[in-house]
């Protein structure tokens, strides 16, 4: 009797635990994407204000995610402006590797043109709890 009860409890607890872990990783992915996209937007805003020297073809967007970490020279400041502390690890792949899109790429492009970083996305092929693909977030 006790063994059967424990088996039923274990059968309920394991899927619930997996569900909670996946939901936590999805929350972390959304947070990381928002963090990087805000950093890209901040860079673009400063470029549009003439505070950052813009190279031809970048449209004011950073050339790479590394530029956001290493920092950019801002007019009137002695130190570089850093937009990110580090490139986050994609919680779905376990790697600090992200799909990139440039301003010149189409919105559903899976290959980066290399001109600038306009958007980031997860390279995970997995599906979210709501049925959407992580790479489409």
> Cα–Cα distances in Å, from 86 out to 35, 51, 67?
11, 23, 10
The domain of 117 spans 2-136
Q: How far apart are CA 134 and CA 32, in angstroms?
A: 12
pTM recorded for the entire structure: 0.85
**pLDDT for 109:** 87
Q: How many domains does the chain have?
A: 1
Per-position pLDDT tens, the chain of length 137: 767 666 665 666 556 778 899 999 999 999 999 999 999 999 999 999 999 998 888 899 999 999 999 999 999 889 999 999 999 999 999 999 999 999 999 988 888 989 999 999 999 999 999 999 999 99
């Amino acid at each position: 009797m006790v063994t059967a009860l424990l088996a039923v409890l274990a059968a309920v607890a394991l899927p619930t635990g997996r569900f909670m872990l996946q939901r936590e990783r999805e929350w972390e992915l959304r947070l990381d994407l928002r963090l990087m996209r805000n950093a890209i937007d901040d860079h673009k805003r400063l470029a549009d204000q003439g505070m950052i020297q813009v190279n031809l073809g970048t449209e004011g967007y950073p050339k790479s995610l590394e530029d956001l970490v290493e920092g950019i020279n801002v007019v009137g400041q002695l130190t570089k402006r850093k937009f990110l502390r580090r490139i986050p690890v994609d919680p779905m792949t376990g790697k600090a590797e992200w799909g990139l899109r440039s301003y010149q790429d189409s919105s559903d492009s899976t290959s980066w043109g290399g001109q600038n970083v306009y958007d980031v996305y997860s390279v995970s092929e997995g599906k979210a709890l709501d049925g959407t693909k992580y790479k489409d977030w």
